[in-house]
């Protein structure tokens, strides 16, 4: 309800129209607005754009309309501006106005025939999956009036083999029980199934989507409609969805990503989408070289039997696939999903995959990232773990680079499930806390609110964060996620508390554990590091083996035994504190 004399504005992330993006990427030649209202009102059509640091908001036209009952009203919208957003306002006249719904639409026929295949990899996220699939069935698959009706297929790789297929049974929903081969294995399985049915079902695009997103089905409709009018010169483009915070729904965690040689850099992070300036800044294009697979739409032509993901279990598989296949990347306001923020949790076992897979990724796509750079980054990573007394994580990091240096044959011979179990066992296990423990710990969590002086930081660094001094604090409590190093200064025992999950794990300053890490580092530098350059070249020359259907079917879905030369496992005993 819009009270008399007041105005409702649709200048928002989901309700505005990305005029600049549609003008650039689509064949759209006519645009109209349809709203369903009751009462007397004036509709204003606005065009807003960024000019320097200011917003230029122009009222393009006004239209008066009235009705005693809910009826649709139709208005033309201009397409002659090259950038910015279109939006509209509804101003109630002398009485209250009821606004029911609205849509941007075009009378122009679609210029592309599109059928979308959603590829979901899931591992024991039955509640999320069932909720999203029921939504898609109700609003799209079984809705004759939905634009996507008859143009949507859903493929689910069930890594946990726990999805109740009967609860989501539908002709367009395909569920495949799968071994727990991580995100790469699950998404790869879905790709293989889509590849087999692509021609039969007329699939033109593949949407990679996480199993634990909160989804508005209309986001898929927007994706479909945008693809239906895509210009031929952008037929190979990837279309990505922003990650919106599940904890703070109006926050855009990131719109897209850019990977350099070490880490990914989020594009347009921490945007408050209640602010029109941030929504407009989303329209500004920046360099992007991959989309994460919480929502990444690719043309089906990318999918080939010789172009599957790298079998690296989890982490950076989406980065590698984007670097390998992406040439054009498009983002657009209103296409995004809500997802739990990664930065709110910490899982020690991920340190192994982050580092090992970074080495593989750089070997394939960043050949200038050589042995010296690898050693430098490893030392930085180890110093952080040692400063935080997280010796198990330091051992995982060393295992990661050691395993990279074992080469392609070692990776191909691994049973991914068994390897993952070993990595998990070597990592810190987060312990659930009782209510009284949570209250006790919360009151003692140290924060890093005060800025550290340069002299203090240099002195602390020279003293190896207090390692050259006796411990003077018996127990400290720090955040488990990205704690400041100085919180550990001269501490003996540390409780690492994770507020999001209300769990904790404990670490202790131990000289023997430190020496064991340093000894393993020395052994790595002597025996494994000299092989790094040769191994990187081997990955480049044999990459096709790892991404082929033949390899996936033989080694991942029908796991075999490695020969004797490759049966040297990770040195699991060295992980333990």
Q: Give the 3-state DSSP-derived string for 281-308, with helices as H, strands as E and coil as C.
A: HCCCCCCCCECCCCEEEEEHHHCCCCCC
What value does the mean pLDDT of the chain take? 93
pLDDT in tens, 407-454: 999 999 999 999 999 999 999 999 999 999 999 999 999 987 666 677
Name the residue among 107, 574, 128 with its Cα closest to residue 338: 128
As beta bridge partners, residue 86 has 17, 47
Is residue 106 within 8 Å of 28, Cβ to Cβ? Answer: yes
Torsion of CA 565, 569, 573, 574, to 10 degrees: 90
pLDDT at 136 over 60: yes
Per-residue pLDDT at 558: 58
Taking the C-alpha atoms of residue 8 and residue 88, their distance in angstroms, rounded to an integer, is 9
CATH number of 116-339, picked from 3.30.9.40, 3.30.70.20, 3.90.550.60, 3.40.50.970: 3.90.550.60
Q: Per-domain residue ranges for the chain?
A: 7-105, 116-339, 345-518+545-577
Residue 127: CB partners within 8 Å, gap ≥ 6? none
223 contacts 297 by C-beta, under 8 angstroms: yes
Contact 384, 483 (CB under 8 A): no
Could you give phi then psi for residue 565, rounded to 5 degrees?
A: -70, -20
Strand 31-38 to 98-105 pairing: antiparallel
User: Looking at the predicted structure, is the pLDDT value of residue 257 above 50?
Assistant: yes
Number of H-type helices and E-type strands within the chain: 16, 22
Identify each DSSP E strand in 78-171 by its residue range.
Answer: 85-92, 98-105, 116-122, 152-158
pTM of the predicted structure, to 2 decimals: 0.93
d(CA 179, CA 556): 9
pLDDT 10s digits, 528-566: 999 999 999 999 999 999 999 999 988 766 544 333 333
- Alpha carbons within 13 angstroms on the beta-carbon side of residue 133 total 29
Tokens of 143: 């809705």
Tell me the β-bridge partners of 98. Answer: 38
The residues, ordered by sequence, that sit 6+ positions from 248 with a Cβ below 8 Å of its Cβ are: none
- What's the rounded mean pLDDT across residues 282-305? 97
H helix or E strand, kind and range, residue 418: helix 416-426
Beta bridge partners of 78: none
For 176, the token pair is 């495949």
Confirm if 278 and 272 have CB atoms less than 8 A apart.
Answer: yes
Strand order in the sheet with 54-65: 7-9, 85-92, 41-51, 54-65
Q: State the greatest distance between any 2 C-alpha atoms of the chain, in Å, as a whole number.
A: 85
pLDDT score recorded for residue 465: 78
Give yes or no for residue 53 having a pLDDT over 90: no
Per-residue model confidence as pLDDT tens digits over 23-34? 999 999 999 999
Which residues lie below 8 Å from residue 20, measured CB to CB, with a gap of 6+?
81, 82, 83, 84, 85, 283
Contact call for residues 291 and 318 (beta carbons, < 8 A) = yes
DSSP SS3 for 427:
coil
Q: Please give the Cα distance from 129 to 149 (Å, whole number).
A: 20
Count the Cβ atoms, other than its own, within 10 Å of residue 541.
Answer: 10
Closest CA to 336 of 275, 251, 402, 406: 251
* 67 or 562: which leads in pLDDT: 67
Query: Residue 247: its pLDDT value, please?
Result: 93
Which of 350-359, 439-448, 568-577 shows the highest mean pLDDT?
350-359
β partners of residue 272: 251
DSSP alpha helix (H) spans, 26-172 = 126-136
Which 8-state DSSP code applies to residue 255? S
SS3 135: helix
Axis-axis angle for helices 391-404, 532-546 (nearest 10):
70
Q: Which pLDDT tens digit goes with each residue over 441-499?
A: 999 999 876 666 777 777 777 777 777 788 888 999 999 999 998 899 889 999 999 99
Q: Are 346 and 303 in contact (CB under 8 A)?
A: no
CB atoms within 10 A of CB 522: 10
Q: What is the mean pLDDT of residues 336-356?
A: 95
Question: Which residues have CB under 8 Å from 473's CB, separation 6+?
Answer: 490, 491, 492
pLDDT at position 124 over 70: yes
Question: d(Cα 336, Cα 243) in Å, to the nearest integer?
Answer: 6
**Whole-angstrom distance, CA of residue 264 vs CA of residue 259:** 4
DSSP state, residue 116: E
Q: What is the pLDDT of residue 557?
A: 66
CATH of domain 7-105: 2.60.40
The 10s digit of each residue's pLDDT in 205-234 is 999 999 999 999 999 999 999 999 999 999
pLDDT band at 170 (very low <50, low <70, confident <90, very high): very high
**Which two tokens mark 323?**
């670097």
Tell me what pLDDT residue 150 has. 97
Q: Kind and range of the H or E element at 498? A: strand 491-498
C-alpha closest to that of 37 among 83, 2, 13: 2
pLDDT at 450: 65
Q: 150 — alpha (psi -120 to 50), left (phi > 0) or beta?
A: left
């Amino acid at each position: 309800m819009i009270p008399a004399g007041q105005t409702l504005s649709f200048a928002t992330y989901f309700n505005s129209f990305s005029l600049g993006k549609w003008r650039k990427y689509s064949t759209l030649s006519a645009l109209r607005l349809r709203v369903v209202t009751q009462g007397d009102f004036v509709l204003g059509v606005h065009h807003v754009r960024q000019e320097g640091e200011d917003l230029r908001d122009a009222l393009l036209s006004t239209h008066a309309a009235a009705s005693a009952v809910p009826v649709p009203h139709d208005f033309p919208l201009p397409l002659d501006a090259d950038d910015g957003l279109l939006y509209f306002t509804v101003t109630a006249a002398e009485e209250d106005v009821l606004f029911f719904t609205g849509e941007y639409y075009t009378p122009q026929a679609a210029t592309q025939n599109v059928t979308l295949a959603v590829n979901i990899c899931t591992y024991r996220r039955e509640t999320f999956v069932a909720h999203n699939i029921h939504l898609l069935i109700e609003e799209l698959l079984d809705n004759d009036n939905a634009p996507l009706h008859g143009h949507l297929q859903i493929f689910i790789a069930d890594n946990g083999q726990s999805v109740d297929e009967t609860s989501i049974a539908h002709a367009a929903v395909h569920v495949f029980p799968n071994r727990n081969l991580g995100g790469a294995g699950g998404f790869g399985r879905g790709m293989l199934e889509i590849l087999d049915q692509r021609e039969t079902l007329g699939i033109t695009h593949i949407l990679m989507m996480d199993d634990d997103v909160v989804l508005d089905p209309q986001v898929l409709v927007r994706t479909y409609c945008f693809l239906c009018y895509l210009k031929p010169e952008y037929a190979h483009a990837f279309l990505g969805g922003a990650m919106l915070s599940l904890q703070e729904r109006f926050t855009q965690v990131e719109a897209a990503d850019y990977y350099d040689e070490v880490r990914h850099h989020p594009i347009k992070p921490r945007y408050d989408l209640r602010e029109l300036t941030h929504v407009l800044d989303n329209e500004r294009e920046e360099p992007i070289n991959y989309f994460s697979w919480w929502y990444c739409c690719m043309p089906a032509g990318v999918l080939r039997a010789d172009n599957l993901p790298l079998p690296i279990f989890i982490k950076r598989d989406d980065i590698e696939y984007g670097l390998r296949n992406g040439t054009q990347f498009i983002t657009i306001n209103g296409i995004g999903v809500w997802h739990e923020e990664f930065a709110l949790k910490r899982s020690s076992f991920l340190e192994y995959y982050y580092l090992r897979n970074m080495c593989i990724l750089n070997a394939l796509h960043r050949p200038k990232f050589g042995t010296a750079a690898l050693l430098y980054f490893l030392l930085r990573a180890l110093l952080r773990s040692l400063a935080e007394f997280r010796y198990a994580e330091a051992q995982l990091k060393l295992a990661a680079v050691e395993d990279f240096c074992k080469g392609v044959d070692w990776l191909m011979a691994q049973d991914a499930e068994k390897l993952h179990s070993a990595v998990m066992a070597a990592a810190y296990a987060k312990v659930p806390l009782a209510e009284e423990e949570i209250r006790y710990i919360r009151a003692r969590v140290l924060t890093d609110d005060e800025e550290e002086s340069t002299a203090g930081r240099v002195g602390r660094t020279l003293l190896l964060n207090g390692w050259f001094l006796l411990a003077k604090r018996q127990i400290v409590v720090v955040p488990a996620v990205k704690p400041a190093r100085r919180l550990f200064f001269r501490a003996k025992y540390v409780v690492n508390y994770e507020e999001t999950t209300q769990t904790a794990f404990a670490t202790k300053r131990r000289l023997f554990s430190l020496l064991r890490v340093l000894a393993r580092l020395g052994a790595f530098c002597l025996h494994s590091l000299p092989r790094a350059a040769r191994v990187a070249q081997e990955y480049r020359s044999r990459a096709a083996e790892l991404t082929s259907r033949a390899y996936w079917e033989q080694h991942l879905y029908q796991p075999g035994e490695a020969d004797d030369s490759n049966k040297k496992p990770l040195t699991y005993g060295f992980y333990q504190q």
